[in-house]
């Protein structure tokens, strides 16, 4: 039955669509990653968010190595079908740097500023330095 839903998504030439993850209750935008049709199908069927890692060219089950999984709360598609918004319940932190979300650099008055602290060290999450996917 997900085939009908997949037809409503406009994947790009590489077969991918950007997916924004937002914490369902706080509204915090956690991260943006990419999905292919298999990642969409797995996410809808399992209720746990699965992306497509462009660097590894493989399905990326968020939290598989770190335990910091994203439980799917709602799956939304935008008006022209080319962007997905995932409302999720994030366990732990979303960012591979150990921050709660990935958008911790702010540009203002010609300068950039880091506006969030590391909550978990990447070594504690992965047993090694950070790898974005």
Binding-site annotation: residue ranges for Mg(2+): 78, 80, 82
State phi, psi for 57 to the nearest 5 degrees.
50, 55
Is residue 116 within 8 Å of 104, Cβ to Cβ? Answer: yes
The token pair at 126 is: 């992965």
Q: Give the annotated binding-site residues.
A: 78-80, 82, 95, 102
79 sits near a copy of itself (criterion: CB under 8 A): yes
- Residue from 16, 53, 69, 78 in contact with a copy of itself (CB under 8 A): 78
State which of positions 27-56 bind a copy of itself (CB under 8 A).
Answer: 27-29, 31-32, 44
CB of 123 to a copy of itself, least distance (A): 16
Which positions from 93 through 112 interact with a copy of itself, judged by CB under 8 A? 95-97, 99, 102-108, 110-112
Among 67, 80, 128, 129, indicate the residue that binds a copy of itself (CB under 8 A).
Answer: 80
The secondary structure element, H or E, covering residue 77 is strand 70-77
Question: By C-alpha distance, which of 102, 68, 106 is closest to 88?
Answer: 68
Size of the site for a copy of itself (CB under 8 A): 40
Pairing outcome for strands 84-90 and 70-77? antiparallel
Place of tokens 């709360």: 73
Q: Which two tokens stand for residue 45?
A: 């069927």
Name which of 17 and 61 has its Cβ closer to a copy of itself.
17
């Amino acid at each position: 039955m997900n085939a009908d839903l997949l037809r409503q998504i406009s994947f790009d030439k590489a077969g991918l669509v950007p997916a924004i993850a937002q914490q369902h209750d706080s509204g915090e935008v956690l991260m943006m990653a990419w999905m292919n049709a298999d990642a969409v199908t797995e996410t809808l069927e399992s209720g746990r968010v699965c992306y497509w890692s462009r660097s590894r060219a493989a399905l990326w089950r968020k939290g598989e190595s770190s335990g910091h999984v994203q439980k799917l709360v709602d799956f939304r598609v935008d008006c022209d079908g080319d962007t997905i918004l995932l409302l999720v319940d994030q366990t732990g932190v979303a960012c591979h740097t150990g921050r709660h979300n990935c958008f911790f650099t702010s540009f203002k008055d010609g300068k950039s500023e880091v506006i969030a602290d590391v909550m978990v060290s990447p070594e504690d999450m992965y047993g090694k330095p950070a790898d974005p996917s």
